[in-house]
Homo-oligomer: A and B are copies of this chain.
Amino acid sequence: MKLLLDNQVCFDVHAASRALDGLYRGLLRDLGLTYPQYLAMMVLWEREPVTVKELGAALRLDSGTLSPLLKRLEAAGLVRRERSAADERSVLVRLTPDGAALRPEAEQVPGRLLAATGLDVEELAAFRSTLRRLTAAVDEAALAVRRAQ
């Protein structure tokens, strides 16, 4: 009985995440961005330059994911990368003019997405609070599991 798919929160989270991805895919199509690329651009629109490490900390991604993603953004002419003069290990990521110019159009997206969720302010706040505690607790547990094996 414990194994019924319908009874598992985790599948609900998984399904919600993929549903959101799908909606983003539609909304970001005109911008030529995928959702993870959009997330990276969002960091850059707020703060620039950032190192790959900082980007990874903000998005919870490692260089194995970010390196090719940034390579694609660079190929699309939206960002450029250069090694830091101060620390040759680091790579600084900056917006190009084209990348900066994308911001106004991107600013339309969060509002449309929030509207699509159909959640009111109060429910949204409770939901996010639960999400964050869930993520923190699960991260902690994953660490414990890792240590044990």
Chain A residues within CB distance 8 Å of chain B: 2-5, 7-27, 29, 35, 39, 42-43, 45-46, 58-60, 103, 106-107, 110-111, 113-114, 116-119, 123-124, 126-128, 130-135, 137-142, 145-146, 149
In the assembled complex, which residues on chain B have CB atoms less than 8 Å from the CB atom of A137?
A: 116-119
Complex contact A46–B4 (CB within 8 A): yes
Complex contact A11–B39 (CB within 8 A): yes
Contact among B2, B12, B46 with A3 in the assembled complex (CB-CB below 8 Å):
B46
In the assembled complex, which residues on chain B have CB atoms less than 8 Å from the CB atom of A21?
A: 14
Distance between Cα atoms of A14 and B131 in the complex (Å): 10
Complex contact B126–A60 (CB within 8 A): no
Complex contact B39–A5 (CB within 8 A): yes
**22 A-B pairs (CB sep. < 8 Å):** A2-B107, A3-B103, A3-B106, A5-B43, A5-B59, A8-B110, A9-B114, A9-B119, A9-B131, A13-B13, A13-B16, A13-B20, A13-B131, A14-B17, A14-B35, A16-B138, A19-B135, A22-B138, A23-B145, A117-B137, A117-B138, A119-B130
